[in-house]
Amino acid sequence: MDGSFTFIVPGDIEQITGGYLYDRRVIEGLRAEGRRLGLLELLGRFPDADWTAQASAAACLAALPDGAAVCIDGLALAAFEAVLPAHADRLAIIVLVHHALALETGLSVEDAARYATLERKLLPLCQGVLCPSARSAADVAAYGVPRDRIAVIPPGTDRPDGSADLPPSDRPGMVRLLTVATVTPRKGHRLLVEALADIDRSDWHLTAIGSLERDPATVADLRALIADRGLEDRVDLAGEWPPERLSEAYRAADLFVLPSFYEGYGMAYAEAMAHGLPILGTDAGAIPLTVPATAGILVPAGDRGALAAALAQMIGDGVLRARYAAGARAAADGFVDWAETARRWGGAFDLLAKRG
């Protein structure tokens, strides 16, 4: 076997989200090892696949020869509902599940049940499933996928250049808060603004980096909330930044805060830790597996009061931030780079595809 396979992603792989970045870096790493990888970018709408997405998915699978190995990004899974069962026996189909579709925040009860039914139907038909964390793997196993057909490969983490020169988190003056996440309900931007409005402090500024285009309704609601709370000069919705520029934002910050309602891993937390930032997050999904207690404070997901109290504590105590910053740097020393992630991912893919 030459290790070649086809990677299928929903839409343009250059999109800037954690999931697309994971896909892109794995593909780059495997190609650097000499693997021949085909990349197919599906047309249509995702994750709620429209007719165009379904037709694109059907054409992709039909074009693959018998016995071919293929990895489908789980965000595209709904597009394969009608066609995957017919191809499951002739292809070695592996699905990369960043996090279960049914666990997305903001879904109606009916949509969550529909996605759960879809995942429960399709994932056990596949030859294997790759996940970024043990939390996502447990969610997949709950759908009936045997544990020996699930592999966990965490993302890599880039180390910043000149890490010894990173700014201390206890420097005096305005405390600069940073969040890095697409503005969607799951990431908790609204809760963060509400909690910041609750605290009796004026010595902070928040920069929120992340796409303002993917969910216009959520963005409009967030802008209205910021205006209603009189925080226009304190909260900067900075929009999407290219990955190569993010190090600049991490270096300029004193505290990373992201009150997400669920994460299949939490790459932004890991990047912040690698830059020596203390963390304020939640206990949702895989976040506690990424952020140890020595690196920051994790509050119950959705708990506005606990988040406000933790914000007041972290903003007001530079010594505490410095202690957590040291813990974050120490924890980040155990993170692997993307080359190692790609190597492990490729090995796990081969085993699941029965090529190891």
* Domain-wise residue ranges, the chain: 5-156+336-352, 163-332
List pLDDT tens digits, range 60-76. 999 999 999 999 999 99
- The mean pLDDT of the chain is 94
Q: For residue 356, is pLDDT > 90?
A: no
Under the banding of pLDDT at 50, 70 and 90, the label for residue 1 is very low
What is the model's pLDDT at position 353?
94
Q: Which CATH superfamily is domain 163-332 in?
A: Glycogen Phosphorylase B; (3.40.50.2000)
Record: fold of 5-156+336-352: Rossmann fold (3.40.50)
Same fold, 5-156+336-352 and 163-332: yes
List pLDDT tens digits, range 239-274. 999 988 999 999 999 999 999 999 999 999 999 999
What is the model's pLDDT at position 173?
81
For residue 62, what are the β-bridge partners? none
User: Would you call 147 exposed, middle or buried from its count of C-beta atoms within 10 A (0-12, 13-18, 19+)?
Assistant: exposed
List, as own/partner pairs, every contact residues 228-235 make where C-beta atoms lie below 8 angstroms and the sequence separation is at least 24, other chains included: 229/193, 229/194, 229/197, 231/193, 231/196, 231/197, 234/196, 234/204, 234/205, 234/206, 235/193, 235/196, 235/205, 235/206, 235/208
CA dihedral over 319, 325, 327, 329, signed as positive or negative: negative
